[in-house]
Chains A and B, each alone.
Chain A
Amino acid sequence: MTDINQDDLQAAAERVADALPDDSPPVEDIADEMQGLVEYHIPLEVAMEEILDEYGNQDPHQDDDLNGGTDSEGQTDDPNEPTDEDQANDGHTDSVGATSTSSTTPTKVGDLDAKGNWVDLTVKVVELWDSTSDAVSQVGLLGDSSGTIKFATWATSDVPELDENTNYLLRDVVTDQYKGEYSVKLNDETDVLETDQEIEVGLGVEISGPLIDIEGPSGLIKRCPECSQVLKDDRCSEHGVVEGEFDLRVKGILDDGDEIAKVTLDREMTKQLTGIGLDTAIDMVRDTYDREIVIRKIAPQILGRYYSIQGPEINGYVCAERIDRQSTQPVSDLLDRGSDL
């Protein structure tokens, strides 16, 4: 439990209640909700603003509640539904239903295993990518102790932009699934609250075994400057012929005899294992006019070795963030087992 000075909290709740319209929830409810936020390491001032926003500014979904007379939780709404901002400012409110989720426990991204669920996440923004779709304003990777997950923000929704390497409590995001891979969507119902809670992003999956094959294109590659896709004959499948940017990577196959895993080593990991960095690779190719020389030099240094690899799994590949050579195994236990057979 976080240390919260109850007097400060009570005083803050009273100030918020004073600033809100008369038909807002009672001060005790506001204090409860604020307590919930503060327990997620939301600074008190941010928690105050959040609650002011929540009850001080009417939102269109609550208008729907008023007009339709239903007791909607807001959570069954279509996340794609565009917001009608004009309805949002009549200053009237009576519902706490739509956003009173502060008592729910945040879900771990590693536990997400269904689509269409509304969840709260406490996450770090690991990476932001360029959106390739007009319908999506922001796309990237979120992480918590259990691993990472992709996120996307609908361009039509009124969600603040997330910053890289910043931690957030995201309330009411919707889970999605595409080709077996899970993601979350930020939508109009989503609350984005910056938090100073420490988040150590988990490394996702751990795999081990010998690296037995390398897939192309590996070695020195060129990426599209727009979208980072690997170019084929200087062509990006999205952006046509572009002036590519050099990068170094290895796509490998790990096979422990029971299971096969695909792994990607980025520039840093490749250098760590082989001593060949991007500049060296570019020099090699300039000296020989042979782009394949890089992977021919890399392959004999890593094939046939046993590795233990940790990293997030993205599009079926484990993106290595940590690699260790597997050490030798003790022989005596195996001899005992063999003798008993």
Chain B
Amino acid sequence: MSTQDRELARRAFARELEDATHDFEGDEGKNPPQFVLLPTGVRANRLFIIGRLVDVEDIGNDTEYWQARIEDSAGDSFFAYAGPQYQQQATNYLRSVSPNTYVAAVAKPDVYQTDNGDHNVSLRPERLVTVDEQARHRWTTEAAESTFDRIDAFYNNSSPDIDKAREIYGTSLESYRDAAMTALRNLQQPDPK
């Protein structure tokens, strides 16, 4: 697989990802990639996140199916789900990992509708590994920078994805900026671990 075919891994805090409700199919080739449109106007086929694993639970009935709650540095949560058939590495990992570990996930986002009609975004991890505080710190600053870049572009530039995001989600992006600011300030606190 060449890098031209590979989709970028976006950096976003959970607060922005959980507001995403719009997904769509790309227009390239025979196997068009699936995207989730982020409220800041960028399409995400893949995400790279680092956070603290706070809960891990097998919620499967007949076969195991793991739910992992990963809290970002702002205190908001990503939810990742893994089964043995399609997310073997992540499943093996979640079977044995203890909570309160820093984890990195490379994952595909999925928008789904809950029973009461809300939209939620879950993550299907391609890779899930334990990382250290240094990696979490680096991710947090990178995700903050990337969020600020997207907000900048949203207010100052125009692109089809930005226009679509304006239409679908509106133009209020303060809470995503606030999440990034909270995450950055939390880095300045002593490590809660």
Contact surface of A with B, Cβ cutoff 8 Å: 210, 212-213, 215, 253, 255, 257-262, 299-300, 303-306, 316, 325-329, 331, 334-335, 337-339, 341
Contact = CB atoms under 8 A, between A and B. Distances in A.
A316 B139 contact: no
A257 B184 contact: no
B141 A329 contact: yes
A338 B143 CA distance: 12
The size bracket of the interface on B is 35 or more
B146 A257 contact: yes
14 contacts: A210-B104, A210-B139, A213-B126, A255-B8, A255-B48, A260-B3, A260-B6, A300-B129, A303-B104, A304-B103, A304-B106, A306-B134, A337-B148, A338-B184
Given A257-B142, A335-B185, 14 more contacts: A210-B139, A253-B3, A253-B6, A259-B8, A261-B3, A303-B129, A304-B103, A304-B104, A325-B134, A327-B134, A328-B134, A328-B138, A329-B141, A334-B141
Nearest to B93: A300
Given A326-B138, A329-B138, A212 B145 contact: no
B129 A299 contact: yes
Given A299-B129, A331-B188, A338 B139 contact: no
A325 B142 CA distance: 15
Interface in B53-84: none
Considering the complex of A and B, which 7 residue pairs feature the smallest CB-CB distances, nearest first?
A304-B104, A329-B141, A328-B137, A304-B131, A260-B3, A303-B129, A212-B106
The SS class assigned to the A binding surface is: mixed
Interface string B1-44: 11100101111000000000000000000000000000000000
A257 B9 contact: yes
B76 to A, nearest CB: 16
Nearest to B147: A338
Contact of A210 (B135, B137, B151): B135
A306 B104 CA distance: 11
Given A257-B9, A260-B8, A338-B148, A304 B188 contact: no
A213 B141 contact: no
A339 B148 CA distance: 10
B127 A213 contact: yes
Nearest to B138: A306
B177 interface: yes
Contacts of B129: 299-300, 303-304
B123 interface: no
